[in-house]
Amino acid sequence: MPISNTGYGIVPKYAEIDVASAGDNTIVAAVTGKKIRVLQYSLVCGNAVTVQWKSSGGSTLSGDMSFAANGGISSAFSPAGLFETAAGEALVLNLSAGNPVSGHLVYTEK
């Protein structure tokens, strides 16, 4: 169902986060010609780890976020978006170490 934001509708999509490999982990695959705009996300880290959101081309979308074991974050929902990838690039979650990170996100393709 579209969400109206000052007169235009956005169609939210949802993705599960379930990764455990050090380095870049694709959360949402690239869509040709589209940006992935994140509207909300939640993360829980099984062990101490530093994470960072990135566009698959290498651009960083967030700063480093360090978590203790069983730490996490849940962002507020923003219909305008929290951050977005470059057009045609995947949304990546980079982990500093091979530790389990799970959660979910709400996004749209722009």
pLDDT tens for each residue of 10-35: 889 999 999 999 999 999 999 999 99
27 is in which domain, residue-wise?
3-109
Low-confidence ranges of the chain (pLDDT < 70): 1-8
Q: What single letter denotes the amino acid at residue 81?
A: G
Domain total of the chain: 1
Report pTM.
0.91
| Sign of the CA dihedral with 61 first, then 10, 15, and 30 last | negative
Q: What single letter denotes the amino acid at residue 78?
A: S
What CATH number did the domain enclosing 8 receive?
Answer: 2.60.120.40
